[in-house]
Amino acid sequence: MRVHSSLEAASAAGAGIRGLALGFFDGVHPGHLAVFRAIQDAGLPLAILTFWPHPQAVLRPDARPALITGLDHKLHLFAQAGAEDVIVHPFDAAFARLEAPDFLSRLWHCLPGLRAAACGPNFQFGRGRAGGPEMLAAACRERGIAAAFPPMAQAGGGPISSSRIRGVLTAGGLEEASALLGRPYRLRGPVVSGRRLGRELGFPTANVLSGDGWLLPSGVYAGKTLLPDGSAWPSAINLGSQPTVDPASAPAVETHLIGYEGDLSGQVLEVEPRRWLRGQQRFSGPEELRAAIARDVAQASHIS
């Protein structure tokens, strides 16, 4: 999969994009996959145009949403969906001021070979979100470009949307969120060096640098950790700080792979919380903390 840093970069690379799915695609849920399939069903290689950062980070920084998937995780999911090209166009103040017709002109200029475009019903573009599926459809008709706008996917009595999934995760609804995503909710990132406090307590952890952050309540979870070789290990997972050993520590993703003894440094892991065990607690000292972790590990060892 080729990744281009802007529309102009894709043009300069001679990407030859013919089928394009447009959207932010946070979470890459079933509704997004339907947009991708609209391009693939037209018999065209799938290219995706997405934006970074989230528009609210520029337009309303105080109201920017926490995301289901960070950029690296999203690119990984795009590749799994069969994308051959991805354009990650910068969403900055200048781009936010671009009028909707000017955005379309830029799109046609940079991708002259475009033959099909698709987006979801909520996709908007241009200054003040003036453009949407209707404007895109009209512009495509004028240029002889096929356009598809799959309806929102449905589950649990309502439409699937990124905002709905965010709300479910924030409330701790792991099972419901996974059902809406169409796959287990996971955090993804490389293992980075930590202070080795878990190893000192007898429970070494991998510290995962997740660009996703997380939406779940902080606490300890039972779950799985997936390695690049495809193996999955039952795990006790801590999302949050270290209130007993380092109260000032920054929130982090730590996972103890039960029974694993290898070196995970630098490897990209997928951490899959499955069940809430307890909230974060400040214990009286290392011995009480060690006993609590042992109980967590005992419960997590039964996760299949």
Q: Answer whether 266's CB lies under 8 Å from 208's CB.
A: no
- Spatial separation of the C-alpha atoms in residues 10 and 290, rounded to whole Å: 52
How far lies 203's CA from each of 186, 223, 275, in Å? 22, 16, 19
* pTM across the whole model: 0.93
Closest listed residue to residue 82, CA positions, set 49, 45, 134: 45
What homologous superfamily does CATH list for 186-300? Riboflavin kinase-like (2.40.30.30)
Ordered by start, the domain boundaries in the chain are 2-150, 186-300
Contact 175, 30 (CB under 8 A): no
Helix and strand numbers (H, E) in the chain are: 11, 14
pLDDT in tens, 250-269: 788 999 999 999 999 999 99
> What is the model's pLDDT at position 212?
65
* pLDDT of residue 200 exceeding 70: no
Give the class (CATH, top level) of 2-150: alpha beta
Total number of residues shown for the chain: 304
Supply the pLDDT for residue 286.
Answer: 82
Is the fold of 2-150 the same as that of 186-300?
no
Mean pLDDT of 104-130: 98
C-alpha span between 221 and 236 (Å, rounded): 6
> Crossing angle, helix 133-143 and helix 100-110, to 10 degrees?
40
